[in-house]
Amino acid sequence: LLAFKDGQDADILLTPIYLLFGVFLPLFLSPNDESPHLYHLVGVAAVGVGDSFAAIIGLNYGKTKWPRTNKTVEGSLAMFSAIVIFLMASQPFCSAPSPSCVVIFFVSLILSVVEAITENIDNILLPIVGYLLL
């Protein structure tokens, strides 16, 4: 598990725990209904897909840093794009009414900004923000 350790971890590896919690948090917050909604998937979209793409692209291709952080503009753009694509591709599998494309773009933009300005708690905060917006 040491491969998953980052700067915010102390003696306990919190990052994988926060990741799992963040992915499942929208499911726990959702009403108990049988039909899937897009807000059920926002944890996977934000943390599993978006944050992962931001890390990969930001580390490998990121040149432009955001002020007062190590995060990059390129990583944020990758996150935005990945969330938009994931949510748009997931819409046919969710029950109506699905959010409009404008709402999906807005939610993706807000999540990308929140990820860019937060340091330690983004794996928890992103799914909550996305759930509340959808």
Neighbours of 113 (CB within 10 A): 15
111 half-sphere exposure, CB direction, 13 A CA radius: 36
Which pLDDT score is estimated for 117? 92
- Residue of 122 and 97 predicted with greater confidence: 122
DSSP, res 41: G
Contact 83, 111 (CB under 8 A): yes
Q: 27-75, pLDDT tens digit by residue?
A: 888 877 777 889 889 999 999 999 999 999 999 999 999 998 889 999 9
Please tell me the pTM assigned to this model.
Answer: 0.86
> In angstroms, rounded to a whole number, what is the distance separating the alpha carbons of residues 7 and 9?
6
pLDDT at 83 over 90: yes
**94, two tokens:** 């969710």
The closest of 71, 65, 26, 73 to 48, measured between CA atoms, is 26
Q: Mean pLDDT, the chain, as a whole number?
A: 87
Model confidence band, residue 3 (pLDDT cutoffs 50, 70, 90)? very low
pLDDT at 87 over 90: yes
* Residues paired with residue 75 on neighbouring β-strands, in sequence order: none
Which pLDDT score is estimated for 112? 97
> In angstroms, rounded to a whole number, what is the distance separating the alpha carbons of residues 78 and 132?
22
- Domains of the chain, by residue range, sit at 12-133
pLDDT at 2 over 50: no
